[in-house]
Structure 1
Amino acid sequence: MIIEKSLEWKEGFIERVENREGWDNWKLYTMSYEIVEKNLIKEFDGLQSLRYLLDFTPLDHQLEVAKTVIERMNGKALLADEVGLGKTIEAGLILKEYLVRGLVKKALILVPASLVNQWIEELNQKFHIPAIQYRKNYDLNHCDIVVMSMDMAKRSPHKENIYEQSYDLIIIDEAHKLKNHKTKNYEFVQNLRKKFCLLLTATPIQNDVFEIFYLISLLKPGHLGTYESFQSSFSARKHSLEHNEYLKELVSQVMVRNRRQDTEIEWTNRRVQILPLEFTKEEKEVYDLISQLKDVSTVFTDSFSMITLQKEMCSSKEATFLTLIKMLDKCTCLEDMSHMEKIIRKLSVLEINSKAEKAFEIISKANDKVILFTEYRATQDYLQEFLNSKGISSVIFNGQLNKNKREWIKQLFKEKAQVLIATESGSEGINLQFCHHVINYDLPWNPMKLEQRIGRVHRLGQEHDVHIYNMAIKNTIEDHILDLLYVKIGVFEKVVGELDDILSAYKKSI
């Protein structure tokens, strides 16, 4: 079949011009009328965009979120589904719906740098939204749907160029990173000109209850009152509050949250456990010497340095050694230098890392892919060398890898290596459903980081039960970290809702 371009319109046009004939044509008019009528959106209820999604069918809970945000929340919402339920899909649905309805023509999507390409692919391929990645030489006046990293957007001259624009919709991924009004990220977003706004985070409370106040104040200023009235009304302190049922009701008016168990999807189980460990006699001696530094040293003017060293000692002597050397270089007191040199000498002769030995035991028994999370780069390097000496293949994943290297390392882990040794910054945005074991080698202060770690593997597409091992050394700073993690989980559940197991139902008894 040959398709040719028709030029009949041109002949008709010339004839009407030259012969001064009438321009009206009832047949053409009725055809135009029918086209316009078919494109009209006669009802506000329901999603009109679904007929334009030819190769993609969203899940029921994702459709419900989009309807709720558009019909009840007027396009200003906190999307707080648990990790792995598709908040990106929900945001894409909402954007598509507003584009179809003509209510959004210009949108800005701000995401972590590591997720820019992922967002563009999702919007282009699933929703046929012509989103582009912002480049330094682009004129924002001619860019309708832009995806940009938050780090780039908040810096000059991009910040000033963005401030000149009026956006119909702003989408912020990983919105918990906005934290509060004192951060540059928060201030930047607050000053954007926007009609609709979506904040995406599975963890709207990370460390303290005031974080939910600031996020909701971005969406609907005054919804939770002023900072002072919020603090007074709910007797709010960092890790506690009262009248939480009333607060939860207020929050639900601007927040949509689905839990895995609320969906019709059949999820695999989480097998979570805390593994209480003990230092060897030699490790304990070094740990105690470090703890004594606050009493004998003039270097420790605050508790933060002490806590950092104690945490590092619970991780590896390598991480501890690097910090001590830096402190020793700045030290001017002979007595302090003598004490630190004594610790360094004892560190250097330590032969056993109790936590590493336990990690090796878990990995050997698993005989499967394992992702191991540590907080320190020095520990990463040590663990790779340690596991290699035991015949275990591993790859390192951290925030210093560029996009191509991230994909390469991920592929190496999937096809070759047994263990992925990751830091927090490196793990952001990676999906590892082919892995079924997570070792939290170092515990973070923030329980939501545990949820995000586990969410790398326990998400849509996971076909096996996920085993989570939380390692903690008795009679150390990790005792205190565990206590605080449970307190913070309690605050989260009072305001946001129940959380899937991340530590274990078994309360700490170590």
Structure 2
Amino acid sequence: MIIERSSEWKEGFTERLENRETWDNWALYNMSYETVKTNLITDFYGLQSPKYLPNLTPLSHQLAVAETVIERMNGKAILADEVGLGKTIEAGLILKEYLIRGLVKKALILVPASLVNQWIEELNQKFHIPAMQYKKNYDLNHCTIVVMSIDMAKRSPHKENIYDQAYDLIIIDEAHKLKNHKTKNYEFVQNLKKKFCLLLTATPIQNDVFELFHLISLLKPGHLGNYETFQSSFSASKHDVEHDDYLKELVNQVMVRNRRQDTGIEWTNRHVQIIPIDFTTKEKEVYDLISQLKNVSPIFSDAFSMITLQREMCSSKEATCLTLDKMRLKCIRPGDISYIEEITRKLMGLEINSKAEKAYEIISQANDKVILFTEYRASQLYLQWFLNSKGVTSVLFNGQFNKNKREWMKQLFKEQAQVLIATESGSEGINLQFCHHVINYDLPWNPMKLEQRIGRVHRLGQEHDVHIYNLAIQNTIEDHILDLLHVKIGVFEKVVGELDDILSAYKKSI
């Protein structure tokens, strides 16, 4: 087919110009005028977007969030609803509203790699927003709504190409990953050209109050003053602040947070408990030997390595052995090598894993689907073997799986296996409302990781009560972890607001 440029329009234009003829049909012009007039948004208050979304019925709290961000926060906000309340829907409503009003023409959405397809699907199908996944050879000058992983975006040459763009709106999912202001992720987002910005996270404080300071400074520099001013004004330390009512008021000027109980939705109950476990005599002997390593030789004095070993010993001998073996390879003195080998020998001689036995007991009593979270892949493999030996079917889920394998594991869990054994990656980006039991086999240092884990099952669409079991071995490092988790929960509630039970039904005062 040959395509030629037509010049016929010139003849018609010249004829109308010289003979003073009418330019077009007056009736059609009036119809066009009335159409444009009808679509004009004369009042900035209230949302226009819902009437353009036939495939979506937003919940009242989601509509309220979109209105608040647009009308009161000028499009710069932290969306901090509790897990499972639909922060993606809220962000989609805000984006759609700005597109309709003509205030946003270019938008960049940065998300974890595992959530890219999910975001594109939701924006396309629910909001009729033509979002596209960024590919290496794309010219960003011609891409209006782009979704990409932040890990790709921060690398060259993509970083430089993005910096060349002036975006009307930036949306960042799982924004708590920007908590450390010294990281490349933080620096990258800080340097983006943006008119509006949305940070999505259910956990704006994870470990200490300064994380929230850096997050808000990224969104609205100077809102809390500089670092020194913030520190002195609120006598801020990692796990405590003063004048917390005033700080909370400042935070609420840039953050919208809904709790489940605020939504008007009837939620199922959450039953949370700490399950104390005692080591057997032989397990305790090995744990004590590991704890004494720091006194044996300077090479074992690294506190981080010792704490890691203690935590692994509370998980499985398999996880512990891998770390001990790495330490043995670094040893030079024969005495240090023999000490490591002695611990390894006694470790491998252990026939009972008290925590695994308790997990099996809970799974048997539940007689239902259970998701079990562990910190270590070696423990994950051991637990699958252990449960299989007891006749319990299970599937694995970890960050090494690609998207297709993750979906396949989720489907196997739903249709065939009783237990999903997940590492931390399993607490992000998957929805498991068909499951009603969560075992936190290993406790994290970060209480918000517990909230993320529980949020995989206790979310919109859950029709049953949810049971959470936090396993902790007594008189070990896990006692210290529990104490610290309670302290961090206290900091969160001081500055951000109340938190659903994640450790036990009875909260410990700090």
TM-score range, shorter chain: over 0.9
Aligned to 2:56: 56
Q: 8 Å contact 1:401–1:426 — kept in the other structure?
A: no
What secondary structure does 2:388 align onto? Answer: helix
CA distance in 2, matches of 1:401, 1:22: 67
Q: Could you tell me how far 1:12 is from its partner in structure 2? A: 9.1
Q: Could you tell me how far 1:508 is from its partner in structure 2? A: 7.2
Aligned to 1:309: 309
Q: Could you tell me how far 1:181 is from its partner in structure 2? A: 1.8
Aligned to 1:287: 287
Are 1:332 and 2:312 matched, yes or no?
Answer: no
CA distance in 2, matches of 1:10, 1:273: 80
What secondary structure does 2:29 align onto? Answer: helix
Q: Could you tell me how far 1:20 is from its partner in structure 2? A: 5.6
Q: Could you tell me how far 1:335 is from its partner in structure 2? A: 1.8
Of 243-252 and 12-21, the range deviating more from structure 2: 12-21
CA distance in 2, matches of 1:128, 1:25: 33
CA distance in 2, matches of 1:468, 1:319: 24
Q: 8 Å contact 1:62–1:90 — kept in the other structure?
A: yes
Are 1:222 and 2:222 matched, yes or no?
Answer: yes
Number of positions where the alignment pairs a residue of Structure 1 with one of Structure 2? 501
CA distance in 1, matches of 2:498, 2:66: 22
CA distance in 1, matches of 2:466, 2:149: 31
CA distance in 2, matches of 1:55, 1:506: 42
Aligned to 2:96: 96
CA distance in 1, matches of 2:372, 2:25: 72
Are 1:481 and 2:477 matched, yes or no?
Answer: no
Aligned to 1:6: none
Q: Could you tell me how far 1:28 is from its partner in structure 2? A: 3.0
Matched residue type, 1:320: T
Q: 1:108 to 1:485 in 2, by over 3 A?
A: same
Aligned to 1:439: 439
Aligned to 1:429: 429
Q: Could you tell me how far 1:426 is from its partner in structure 2? A: 3.4
TM-score under structure 2 normalisation? Answer: 0.96
Matched residue type, 2:226: T
CA distance in 1, matches of 2:396, 2:71: 45
Matched residue type, 2:488: K
Are 1:395 and 2:395 matched, yes or no?
Answer: yes
Percent identity over the alignment is: 84
Matches within 5 A, 1:34-433: 34-433=34-433
Matched residue type, 2:492: F
Unaligned runs of 5+ residues in structure 1 are 1-8
Q: Deviations over 1:221-271 (max 9, x none)?
A: 110000001000111011111110100000000000000000111100000
Q: 8 Å contact 1:398–1:427 — kept in the other structure?
A: no
Q: Could you tell me how far 1:336 is from its partner in structure 2? A: 1.4
Q: Could you tell me how far 1:505 is from its partner in structure 2? A: 3.0
Of 103-112 and 10-19, the range deviating more from structure 2: 10-19
CA distance in 2, matches of 1:207, 1:427: 17
Q: Deviations over 1:437-462 (max 9, x none)?
A: 00000000000000000000000000
Aligned to 2:3: none
Q: 8 Å contact 1:387–1:393 — kept in the other structure?
A: yes
CA distance in 2, matches of 1:418, 1:168: 46
CA distance in 2, matches of 1:189, 1:442: 33
Matched residue type, 2:104: V
What secondary structure does 1:289 align onto? Answer: helix
Q: Could you tell me how far 1:339 is from its partner in structure 2? A: 1.3
CA distance in 2, matches of 1:417, 1:25: 68
Q: 8 Å contact 2:307–2:477 — kept in the other structure?
A: yes
Q: Deviations over 1:288-314 (max 9, x none)?
A: 000000111222232111000000000
CA distance in 1, matches of 2:159, 2:19: 57
Q: Deviations over 1:452-475 (max 9, x none)?
A: 000000000000000000000000
CA distance in 1, matches of 2:116, 2:259: 26
Q: Could you tell me how far 1:15 is from its partner in structure 2? A: 8.1
Of 152-161 and 26-35, the range deviating more from structure 2: 26-35
Q: 1:11 to 1:390 in 2, by over 3 A?
A: farther
Unaligned runs of 5+ residues in structure 2 are 1-8
Aligned to 1:5: none
Q: Deviations over 1:354-395 (max 9, x none)?
A: 000000000001010000000000000000000000000000
Q: 8 Å contact 1:224–1:250 — kept in the other structure?
A: yes
Q: Could you tell me how far 1:32 is from its partner in structure 2? A: 2.2
Q: For the aligned residues, what is the CA RMSD?
A: 1.7
Aligned to 1:4: none
Q: Deviations over 1:39-98 (max 9, x none)?
A: 110000000111111121100000000000000000000000000000000000000000
CA distance in 2, matches of 1:57, 1:13: 48
